[in-house]
Amino acid sequence: MFPRGIAVVAITRRGVETALNIKQSLDREGLKNFIFAPKKYSQTGVCELEGKIGEFIKKNYGKWDAIVAVMATGITIRAIAPYLESKLSDPAIIGVDAAGKFVISLISGHYGGANELTKIIAKGIEATPVITTASDSMGKQSVDELAKLLHLTIENPKSLVPVNAAIVNDERVVLVLVGNVKVPTETVIGFEIKRVDTQEEAIQIINDYDAGAIVTKESSKIEGCNNKPFTLLRARNIIVGLGCRKDSTCEQLIETINTALKTVGLSAERIDGFASVDIKKNSAAMLNAAKMFNIPFEFLSVEALRNLNHPDLSPDSKLVQEKIGVGGVCERAALIIAGKNSKLILKKTKQNKTTIAIAEGK
């Protein structure tokens, strides 16, 4: 969650005090964050804010997953307005008053995670969360919230308005799962759920409702005679990369996997595969863990791992390099199997004599 980090920006002395409280709450959740403030308010843990807030936003708008602005909401809105593009690409923007009484979800509430981050910060600093998205205020689950929760790509963003309107207005909506796509249905709220074999069948079902959403592994647009609005959601490829010592046990691997999934808010049902280096292809611990999850395991050659260049990779381990000839296994394996344009949603993490990373394909 928020792998690129969270920028907390304050412009007054009181605001810096609140920002430091926010940092503590984010640290407790294990969320990477940095505080920025004018030089005259500098202290330990605070980076210098160079120039005015507008200049900072212009330079850093796409750099962070979220920006928490501890200042008057009007200042924040004027600063970010020129850079707003889409709820599917804008970072989460949260406003907090200098006294830390209110935490306001401003931009990218669902898909960007602003609503979730608002709740985390408000709880951490004992403030009042302010979330005004229609579905949240009415206790409903929007399509973009569902996509964020289940790691799905929205293929036709223009459909969000009519489909979410149907949800808010208590109309009949359906979620259609195509083929063997895997979704933890217990997390889906307010949708009737159907499963079909083909996209054509999915369209037929949508037409029997007021609106709906289709989840598929296919990247192509669904064609068919449809009379009702629907959002096309493509399930991203989720791959767990693993590395372990010879004496690691199946139980240790399972515990590590479950901890990692909890960290990124994923259900085991969304995992498409495990991956590692081929010198581990006879590892009883790995093979038994894959069997327990009923998920396939792929093993890659050292050469294939070594040839990967990717900006998300952690620094190489000299020890691993000396032992097997490549500076890292779990991140590389996950990224390769996840496919072209994949990214890490969990960088290399060590636990129980094992290393784990999770990659998400586009």
- Of 260, 256, 285, 240, the C-alpha closest to 352 is 256
- Tell me how far apart the alpha carbons of residues 98 and 76 are, in angstroms, rounded to a whole number: 13
CA distances in angstroms from 28 to 115, 308, 345, 349, listed in the order given: 18, 34, 19, 17
**Domains assigned to the chain:** 6-132 (3.40.50.11220), 143-235 (3.40.1390.40), 238-360 (3.30.420.180)
CA distances in angstroms from 172 to 137, 185, 190, 287, listed in the order given: 19, 17, 9, 44
For helices 53-60 and 73-80, give the axis angle rounded to 10 degrees: 50
pLDDT higher than threshold 80 for residue 138: no
CA distances in angstroms from 307 to 166, 276, 318, 329, listed in the order given: 49, 15, 17, 12
Residue 283 DSSP class: -
Q: How far is CA 111 from the centre of its chain?
A: 9
pLDDT score at 74: 95
User: Please, what is the average pLDDT of the chain?
Assistant: 91
pLDDT higher than threshold 70 for residue 51: yes
pLDDT higher than threshold 90 for residue 222: no
pLDDT score at 223: 61
pTM: 0.73
pLDDT higher than threshold 80 for residue 77: yes
User: What is the percent of the chain with per-residue pLDDT over 90, rounded to a whole number?
Assistant: 72
pLDDT score at 219: 64
* Lowest-pLDDT range of 41-45, 159-163, 357-361: 41-45
What's the rounded mean pLDDT across residues 307-334?
Answer: 93
Question: Taking a C-beta distance cutoff of 8 angstroms, is the pair 332, 319 a contact?
Answer: no
Handedness of CA 224, 225, 228, 229 (dihedral sign): positive
3-class DSSP state of 57: helix
Beta strands in 278-361 (DSSP E): 297-300, 343-351, 354-360
- Tell me how far apart the alpha carbons of residues 263 and 2 are, in angstroms, rounded to a whole number: 11
Output the six-digit token pair for 115: 């609503």
Total number of residues shown for the chain: 362
What's the rounded mean pLDDT across residues 324-337?
Answer: 96
pLDDT higher than threshold 80 for residue 135: no
Residue 81 DSSP class: G
pLDDT higher than threshold 90 for residue 1: no
- Tell me how far apart the alpha carbons of residues 230 and 234 are, in angstroms, rounded to a whole number: 13
Q: What is the pLDDT of residues 162-206, one digit of tens each?
A: 999 999 999 999 999 999 888 888 888 889 999 999 888 999 999
pLDDT score at 70: 97
Sequence-distant (6+) residues with CB within 8 A of 168 are 134, 135, 138, 140
Residues 214-242: b if buried by 16+ CB within 10 A, e if exposed? bbbeeeeebeeeeebbbbbbbbbbbbbbb
- Kindly report the number of other CB atoms within 10 A of residue 27's CB atom: 13
pLDDT higher than threshold 90 for residue 220: no
